[in-house]
Structure 1
Amino acid sequence: MDLLKSISKKSMQSIWMTWEAVFEWFTKFRSASCKKYGICKLVVRRHHGKSVECHDGEWVHSGDWVGELHLDNRQVLKFSKELGPDRAALSTARMLRKSMKQISVAMETDPELAHVKALTGITLLHRGIIHGLGFELHPLESKGFRIFSTYYLRLLLRVLHPGGKQRMQQNVQKLVPKMLLMTRQSLLTRYRKEALV
């Protein structure tokens, strides 16, 4: 029975990775550029939806350029298989911090990122993996997008995380998607010194 579950999960993971490859291909057509920094993919696109006030007083308005962050789930899955869920989470967090340092350098040196006003992302794991990285958390304003993101990201967690099903059952009420946000200036202020280390 356990063998069948293992085979089934591996099949689902393979299907998911194929879907992500297709999605990434389509993403290139809806963005100005797609770049990779360590474990992060940065999709440069325009912000859509309501204006958002950031903690430092900056505003992100509809039409402003933002850098949309996506974790490289292929690397996350590899960590999970090789290290187990707990060590994989620590490794992912360390890699994510390194990526943020790389992005902060690129924000000052890459002309294609000169107009990016903020970094954004959508995640369920705001209680753990992004702790201490400097992101603000904002609710998803659009009800339809919030519902879609909830089901999509919960399915992602269930498929890719070694204990995803159990985690879903234990913490389903806490697994609510949030928008991550960090203004350009906040990013540079926080990571400029770290990037030099």
Structure 2
Amino acid sequence: MQTLLLWMFYISTFYAFIPALVSRIFGFRVFRRGKSDQEYALTFDDGPDPVYTPQLLDLLKRFDAKATFFVVGLNAEKHPELLKRMHDEGHLIGIHNYVHKSNWLMRPVTVRRQIAQTESVIRRVTGEGTTFYRPPWGIVNFFDISKNNGRRIVLWSSMFGDWKASIGAKQLAERMLKKLRGGEVMLLHDCGTTLGADAEAPQNMLIALEKLLRVAQERQLRSVRVDTLFCRQSGYHSTVSCLSSTDWMKRTMVFGWLQYERLFHALFRLRPVSKDNTIFYYRRRIYHGPNINMENGRLLEKGDPIIELHFDNKMLFQLGSSAKSLVHLAIQLIRVVKRQLPDLTQRVVHDSGMKGVKAIYAVSMIHRGPEKLGFQVRELPQGLFKHVSTVYLKLLFRIIHPSGSEQLNEKKEVMIPKLIVMPIDTLFDRFQPGDSHRADQAFDPTDQRDVVHTLNSEMIEEGDPMYASIRASQTADTESSS
């Protein structure tokens, strides 16, 4: 009997206690706090709840705050309309097991089944999966942190005991305000039906949260999703930070891809358009394709000198890691390109090696929207080049976008590379340095809506489960630009 107890002690120590200790104290394999001066993350566990979650969503919407909901799969299955609303309003949805049961009390295979079952519910309702996971009570076991299968385990930097009604709204608000600072990950609950919680406790949380959001607004602090806080660094999404949110295989692929890009740039002497955070590189070369009728009757012929553009894969990965959908990625990409086309124009004007070029030229799978900048979109001619370009760009898209594989599998007929070309005269007319009025006209909010409409109509039907994601991205992006 004594030996059995000793073995039980050893097993529980290595299976449960040590993993919990190293994750809580040292943050091993978990995310607990972000690095930001002006952004913090509100996270809500145990929901959705039919009484309190709608009130919470109304409150967040009123203050234009984004949050992360770690949902219990069983509750989400009972209230899919609340799950859909979370997603449609731009919040992040994470997994909190299918039932609220400690991972210490379940075998590894059972935990994996709980996670998969919950993600299945999320994907069925929203059209998207999730990589973010918070175990009930923040308790991890050995297998949670040793083999997380690409999932990011999220704990917290502050919790307030809001599951107990006896604390009261006033005291709860005081506790929360003491922790209100940039980088904080706050743990709250929008459901009081789990073991140890009081059913009416979320009402106090809502009262305290309203006060916190008001004070945060006065201090110019912004509530963001956990994934935003996780990747944020100096206004840009750090590649290093975002890489750590992916599994080891994807990290290896991205690292290898970026090394290949460096070699490619060196071999073909590509030059950056901008000194900092360039979106593309360029080089002069001779055009070898079929004749292209460009605008105003101009003709691009075989043998004409052109400027060939190559997108920077590091920047694409940064944009793709933060994009909520393909539409969102396309809009971000067009905005960055628009900002840097004047830099390209200036380089062409002052670079004697660029004299005589007839057009700028690129191949891309995200080719809806460049018309607003003056590009023309053309089909690639059938042949080896089109086949190689298709394979290359599809592989790249799988790497740079979190759901790249799913997008490619679902939308094979539209995710094809095309040629985008702009006469050099058009580049000068629209983006000549000093002619800011023309450049500003090249892409405005009306054009953005045109891009979204085109992408929506060509890539997705309104009944498709991804439609809500695109509409949410469109709304969030339009609001941020206004």
Shorter chain as denominator, the TM-score bin is 0.7 to 0.9
- Tell me how far apart the structure 2 counterparts of residues 149 and 59 of structure 1 sit (CA, whole Å): 24
Partner of 1:105: 346
Pair 1:184-2:424 in alignment: yes
Pair 1:4-2:185 in alignment: no
Cα deviation for residue 108 of structure 1 reads: 2.6
- Asked whether the 8 Å contact 2:345–2:428 carries over to 1, the reply is yes
Cα deviation for residue 25 of structure 1 reads: 2.3
**Please, which runs of 5 or more residues in structure 1 have no aligned partner?**
29-33
**Match of 1:20, as an amino acid?**
E
Cα deviation for residue 112 of structure 1 reads: 2.0
Pair 1:150-2:390 in alignment: yes
Q: Deviations over 1:9-31 (max 9, x none)?
A: 11211121122222222223xxx
**TM-score normalised according to structure 2 size:** 0.37
The correspondence for 1:36, drawn from 272, 276, 292, is 272
**Match of 1:127, as an amino acid?**
R
The correspondence for 1:138, drawn from 350, 360, 378, is 378
Partner of 1:50: 290
Q: Deviations over 1:106-163 (max 9, x none)?
A: 33332222221100000111025x3522110111124221111111111110112121
Cα deviation for residue 188 of structure 1 reads: 1.2
Q: Point out 4+ residue stretches in structure 1 off by more than 6 angstroms.
A: none
Structure 2 matches for 1:77-92, cutoff 5 A? 77-81=317-321, 83-85=322-324, 89-92=330-333
- Tell me how far apart the structure 2 counterparts of residues 174 and 60 of structure 1 sit (CA, whole Å): 26
Per the alignment, do residues 171 and 184 of structure 1 end up closer, same or farther by CA in structure 2, a change over 3 Å counting?
same
Per the alignment, do residues 170 and 35 of structure 1 end up closer, same or farther by CA in structure 2, a change over 3 Å counting?
same
Partner of 2:414: 174
Partner of 2:153: none
Cα deviation for residue 85 of structure 1 reads: 4.1
- Asked whether the 8 Å contact 2:300–2:358 carries over to 1, the reply is yes
Q: Deviations over 1:67-119 (max 9, x none)?
A: 001111112213344x3445665443222111111112233332222221100
Partner of 1:124: 365
- Asked whether the 8 Å contact 1:85–1:161 carries over to 2, the reply is no
Per the alignment, do residues 84 and 174 of structure 1 end up closer, same or farther by CA in structure 2, a change over 3 Å counting?
closer
- Tell me how far apart the structure 1 counterparts of residues 323 and 367 of structure 2 sit (CA, whole Å): 20
- Tell me how far apart the structure 1 counterparts of residues 347 and 264 of structure 2 sit (CA, whole Å): 25
Partner of 2:32: none
| Higher-strand-fraction structure | 1
Bigger-Rg structure (1/2): 2
Per the alignment, do residues 141 and 80 of structure 1 end up closer, same or farther by CA in structure 2, a change over 3 Å counting?
closer
**TM-score normalised according to structure 1 size:** 0.85
Cα deviation for residue 185 of structure 1 reads: 0.7
Q: Deviations over 1:37-62 (max 9, x none)?
A: 13110111111122222122111222
- Tell me how far apart the structure 2 counterparts of residues 35 and 21 of structure 1 sit (CA, whole Å): 11
- Tell me how far apart the structure 2 counterparts of residues 186 and 79 of structure 1 sit (CA, whole Å): 27
**Please, which runs of 5 or more residues in structure 2 have no aligned partner?**
1-111, 113-130, 132-147, 151-246, 441-482
Identity of aligned residues (%): 24
**Match of 2:296, as an amino acid?**
D
- Asked whether the 8 Å contact 1:85–1:163 carries over to 2, the reply is no
- Tell me how far apart the structure 2 counterparts of residues 139 and 88 of structure 1 sit (CA, whole Å): 22
Pair 1:70-2:310 in alignment: yes
> What is the root-mean-square deviation in Å for CA atoms of aligned residues?
2.2
**Match of 1:176, as an amino acid?**
I
- Tell me how far apart the structure 2 counterparts of residues 196 and 122 of structure 1 sit (CA, whole Å): 23
The correspondence for 1:95, drawn from 336, 355, 360, is 336
Q: Deviations over 1:161-186 (max 9, x none)?
A: 12111111221110111111101111
Q: Which has the higher contact order (CA 8 A, sep 6+)?
A: 1
- Tell me how far apart the structure 1 counterparts of residues 371 and 398 of structure 2 sit (CA, whole Å): 21
**Match of 1:9, as an amino acid?**
K
**Match of 2:263, as an amino acid?**
V
- Asked whether the 8 Å contact 1:135–1:181 carries over to 2, the reply is yes
- Tell me how far apart the structure 2 counterparts of residues 136 and 84 of structure 1 sit (CA, whole Å): 25
How many residues are treated as equivalent by the alignment? 190
